[in-house]
Amino acid sequence: MQEKKYGILSLPVLVAALGYFVDIYDLLLFSIIRIPSLKSLGLNDEQIAKDGLFILNIQMIGLLVGGILWGVLGDKKGRLKVLYASIILYSLGNIANGFVQTVDQYAIIRFITGIGLAGELGAGITLVTELLPKEKRGLGTSMVAGIGLLGAVFAFFLKEIFIQPDNTGWRICYFIGGGLGGLLLILRVGVLESFMFKSIQNAKVSKGNFLMLFTNGKRFRKYLLAILIGLPNWYVIGILITFSKEFGAKMNVQGAIDPGKAVMYAYAAISVGDILIGFVSNWLKSRKKALYIFYVLTAIGIIWFFNLHGASVSELYLACAVLGFGTGMWAIFVTMAAEQFGTNIRATVATTVPNMVRGSLTIISILFAWLQGQTGDYLKAGWITGVIVLSIAILAAVFSEETYHKDLNYLEGAV
């Protein structure tokens, strides 16, 4: 039984939201300042595109590694301890990013920072889903994501303030990210550990056993589907939005395209979408139906994006916003993952699943690059990749469990 009832604007929700705000700021900062930071290191446009994708992929691999590490520790040691440790690591990583001088240094530090960033969302979402009553947990996680995703908007405005025409000033943005992490540590002091986790600390059951997800067919199927339903998010952000300048040039979009501004428009819209999807899910009393609606919106955004030939740069930014709104399913996607598994492995799942999706950008990028080689067409490779990714996600959602009414106070693998 729950010790205390929490609402959607309670301290745990607000602190989790601010934590995700810092997480997203740091996670998207490279995409936002990719061009000026790499230009200041002496790279030309071709190298910026190639090495920028390399650094982004290395960061995502770090997230993948960190997702497993923090997820296991979250179930073994507690949700709050993971939050403290991950914040310290990514804060130090961001400060170190402000001192890099080469692409290799940049990649190594983004890998370490990625490991740190991997712990924030999963542990925060796990804590919120376990503290809030089931009729409010979808709204609570939507608030976390909706507020948190504005971190990307904040990152863009800081980029506009600090980065100079000669491409200097980008290092300050990384230093600010490290400082925000330090402030977040102070805010965490007032948040209590999950009652569900505390109730199983002495239980004789396997906790945080990542291999449990692969030793049982039904469990593995649920885990795999939980990952696949989130794939469109990082196809949109990691390919279409991050490389909007390159796509825009191929479509002869009129005007100078700033990928940082594209990220800002997309994430402002994702924030709205993430809050709205929580209410849609509550209204429909279904996670899956809400997902289907947002998949349709994402498909509309993709179609529009690839039909911007000769359009203005303003229309491209608007298309990015539509794409962002459509992929505002992140909160529900992570909530569904957390809701499908018992308390003794919930943090492992909720932390690894979003980071597996983030890490999948590497595979999506390989598919995109391979399709470029096969078709000889940058744009065709982009939309074919989108069709494949969205089709996989929709099929995964169809076969996933509906978790809206599910009681979470149970153990996984218990006899």
Domain ranges of the chain: 11-189+209-398
Note down pLDDT in tens along the chain; length 415 residues: 445 566 777 777 888 888 888 888 988 888 888 889 999 999 998 888 889 888 988 988 888 888 888 888 878 877 777 778 888 898 999 999 999 999 999 999 999 999 998 887 777 787 788 778 777 888 888 888 888 888 888 988 898 899 988 888 999 999 999 999 888 888 766 665 556 656 666 666 677 788 888 888 999 999 999 999 999 998 998 899 988 999 999 999 999 888 888 988 998 899 899 889 988 998 999 999 999 999 999 999 999 999 999 999 999 999 999 999 999 888 788 889 888 888 788 888 888 888 888 778 889 999 999 999 999 999 999 999 999 999 999 999 999 989 888 877 777 765 4
What phi and psi values does residue 254 have, to the nearest 5 degrees?
-85, 120
H-only helix segments in 132-169: 134-148, 150-162
Structure tokens at 1: 């039984």
The residue behind tokens 């947002």 is 294
Q: Which amino acid is at 182?
A: G
- Stated pTM of the model: 0.80
Cα 256 to Cα 311, 316, 320: the distances in Å are 12, 11, 15
* Topology (CATH level 3) of domain 11-189+209-398: Growth Hormone; Chain: A; (1.20.1250)
Cβ burial, residue 355 (10 Å; 0-12/13-18/19+):
buried
Structure tokens at 291: 């997902």
